[in-house]
A and B are shown apart, each in its own frame.
Chain A
Amino acid sequence: MSLIQAKDLSLNIHNQKILNNLNFEANTGEILGIIGESGSGKSMTANSIIQLLPHGASLRGEIIFDNKNLLNISEDKMCNIRGKDIGFIFQEPMTALNPLKNIGDQVSEVIKLHSNITLKDSVKMAAKVLQRVGLPQEKFPLTRYPFELSGGQRQRVVIAMAIAIKPKLLIADEPSTALDVTTQAKLIQLLKKLVSEDDLCLIMITHDLAVIAEMADKIIIMKEGEIIESGSINILKKGLKSVYSKTLFAASDYKSKNINKISSDKTLLEVKNVSRDYSDNSISFFKSKKIFKAVNNVSFNINYNENVGLVGESGCGKSTITRAILGLDPISQGKITLEADEIKAENVDNEIRKKIQVVFQDPFGSFNPRHNVFKLVSEPLFLQKEKVKEKEKYELVEGLLLRVGLKASDSKKYIHEFSGGQRQRIAIARSLIVKPKLIILDEAVSALDVSIRAQILDLLVELSENFGLSYLFISHDLSLVQSITTKVLVMKSGEIVEAGETADVFKFPKHEYTKTLLDSSPNLQKALKKL
């Protein structure tokens, strides 16, 4: 008898089909991976198990947990199961904790709630649990508040609450997605350790096939509320059957078409000894000003027709560099030169701006929702000295939309009518309209689902070949950089710790940090070899 078994599980919300006839099971000591892209219903599956669903939800079928059908259990009894027999870990550690209560209170609350012990004992137990998840008392006293902890540490607190009274089943909904790769690797290790020590059953929900391949025993692939394929983790190695699974697998193991262009030796952009200091802005009578170096003495070149990657975790200073190159923020020291002109934030000539354009990460925030696509894409034409006629503008915009894989008629639509991937195509069209020499891709594919991501990367590769573009490809994800750049820079705490040909850096990383990054980032091939 399995610990948990779903039979013909279906979910409707306001008569809209969310889940359709799901069947799966998982046993004690087992890790079940549920994988799917956004809208696949994977999170709703998790929420269905703990019966925390939005208004208007109706569940059909059975969820047999510990020989009880959870669908027939009263809400009161369900409250006794949640937190006690089933622990739950959420995606967003920054918001999953109550900001006004300290971590000791939050962890002991779940212990006190489900066991007949005194408050004092529950606090003692909380301390022990926090120790187990890697937050020892000496460094992280119970009186800490969530805002005093980093994202990874907060996620450990959430895990502590989930495992505080040794549940039978642990559900983790994208527990590491919001975190940096090195933190993510440590959390995955922690989860694996907890599963083996406590003989837990873990249902791990993620969009990242590599993460699943590294830890799961069984796998379910979901799409649009249905299970497309399931089985032992070995099916990844033996070969998947359905078309969708194959696409997903290929996209997760993305290799771009070989970049077929020869970069020139001539320097396009030179970043020389650039530093950027931030001082503590608050006026203070008692303390001297603290100076924080967001970027410290950074130098690199980008040649004509060359794709350069810039990799680093959050807060490493890569956004600061981007903004400096775009002339949006001033630098404290050093010099940034594009062709013959120096870029100074106070006064960037339109002729210089025309040569550098940018594609941002957020497919939602980077467009004015009140302008139509024509207006959005043609906005950079403002940089042209000579006025472009409306008719020519339309021809330009429509031509570019076709070029990036959209329809000419899309120019009359508004941005909310497009999906995330289509929006990034529009952003690319916008960046191309003034025929720039350099495009900065600031995490341009990070927010997209893997299959969409692969398509956009293909498009980028093709465009860079045909238009003779240089890219500065900024990403936290090493594997993405590998596929489309020839040179790579690794950044940490405001400094470039390693630079070189992409292939060399990946094969023979020199710096410790690069090695850690390479080891931590989930890698499908590596994981498959271990199976």
Chain B
Amino acid sequence: MLQYFVRRIVTLFFTLVIASLVIFVSLEIIPGDPASYMLGINAQEDTLQALRQELGLDKPKLERYLEWVKGMLIGDFGVSYTYRAPVIEMVSDRLWVSLPLAVYALILSTLISLPVGIYAAANRGKISDLSVMGVTQIGIAVPNFWFAMLLVYLFAIILRWFSAGGFSGWEAGLFLGLKSLTLPAISLALPQASILARVMRSSLIDTLNEDFIKTARAKGLTQNQALIKHGIRNALIPVLTIIGLQFSFLMAGAIIIENVFFLPGLGRLIFQSIAQRDIIVVESVIMLLVFSVVIVTFLVDVAYVIVDPRLRSSIL
């Protein structure tokens, strides 16, 4: 077991190293000099030079890469070229919007989709199943930002239950904070919930066709007992994979949705930074997103081990 996790952590580490290299190298080849962006086109060559020196842009690339990585390890993401503020502060403010949004959406999506999927599988072939599947089919096809706009139109403009955008900040209280994230979370969650419900349904149907379900019925369990006691847990294994994958979709999707609702999250930050050639911020935000995806993948692997005894023993 220990060995398995050691191996997983080693791969996790290598993925992060390679990801950091990819990000660094690709952003190095971006045309445009941050220093001239910051000082404008009329700047003198020696002031530019001085600024480059101050930002460390004149150092060799390898040295800059190593410094960047070393900094991240101790929580120092460097200083924004544009705002001259520590990146870590800028990022952590925004992270407290984006991360709760993604998690909120993930929880919503899971809470909605699993019961729906189970219900559809239990009634498969019937009208109720077909209508649920029809709705999820449409749910998958709806772009989340468009759905978000429709939600704004309905709930903010017509019904006036929610504000059309903006974020109250967590200082204003948990309830208000959650309230301003609710419409964004719903619009993020809907397409994901549709996918998840379909996966849950088909996985459960596959499980219900297994021989051991027939064994359970032959023991005298009713349909629903067999489904609950023997079906669901077995069906959850592929569902876990999808939940893991969805987190990365949600983090990325959050970037777009933040635009619709004018939320001060990582998405807005990354677009601003690209426009201003604030490379160090772009690098850090992308690295952070990749890091969170890798961590979630790792957690999903841990969850597998908890659910499946076969896996548990094979890694002992």
Contacts and interface: CB of A to CB of B under 8 A. Distances in A.
Interface stretch (B46-54, B135-143, B172-180, B306-314): B306-314
Given A97-B212, A100-B234, A286-B3, A145 B218 contact: no
A303 to B, nearest CB: 46
Contact of B211 (A84, A90, A162): A90
A147 B313 contact: yes
A55 B218 contact: no
B229 A109 contact: yes
Contacts of B212: 95-99
Nearest to A76: B222
What is the interface residue range for chain B against chain A? 20 to 34
A284 interface: yes
Contacts of A88: 215, 218
Nearest to A143: B309
Contacts, number: 78
Interface in B270-293: none
B233 interface: yes
Contact of B215 (A81, A158, A284): A158
A80 interface: yes
Contacts of B309: 99-100, 102, 145, 147
A92 B221 contact: no
B216 interface: yes
Interface in A58-109: 75-76, 79-84, 87-88, 90, 92, 95-102, 109
B222 A161 contact: no
B94 interface: no
Nearest to B307: A100
B127 to A, nearest CB: 15
Given A100-B233, A100-B234, A147-B309, A113 B219 contact: yes
A95 B207 CA distance: 11
Contacts of A92: 211
Interface in B1-54: 3
B218 A147 contact: no
Contact of A98 (B217, B230, B307): B230
Interface string A24-65: 000000000000000000000000001010010000000000
B219 A148 contact: no
Contacts of A113: 219-221
A50 B217 CA distance: 9
Interface in A280-334: 284-286
A417 to B, nearest CB: 26
Interface in B162-218: 210-212, 214-218
Contacts of A110: 219-220
A55 B212 CA distance: 18
A114 interface: yes
B125 interface: yes
Interface of A: 50, 52, 55, 75-76, 79-84, 87-88, 90, 92, 95-102, 109-110, 113-114, 145, 147-148, 158, 161-162, 284-286
Interface of B: 3, 125, 210-212, 214-222, 229-230, 233-234, 307-310, 313
Which 4 pairs show the lowest CB-CB distances between chains A and B? A83-B220, A88-B218, A83-B219, A95-B211
Given A52-B217, A90-B211, A92-B211, 16 more contacts: A50-B218, A75-B222, A76-B222, A81-B220, A82-B219, A83-B220, A90-B218, A95-B210, A97-B215, A98-B216, A99-B310, A110-B220, A113-B219, A145-B309, A145-B310, A145-B313
27 contacts: A50-B218, A52-B217, A52-B218, A76-B222, A79-B221, A83-B219, A88-B215, A88-B218, A90-B211, A90-B214, A92-B211, A96-B214, A97-B212, A97-B215, A98-B212, A98-B216, A98-B230, A98-B234, A99-B309, A109-B229, A113-B220, A113-B221, A145-B309, A145-B313, A161-B219, A284-B3, A286-B3
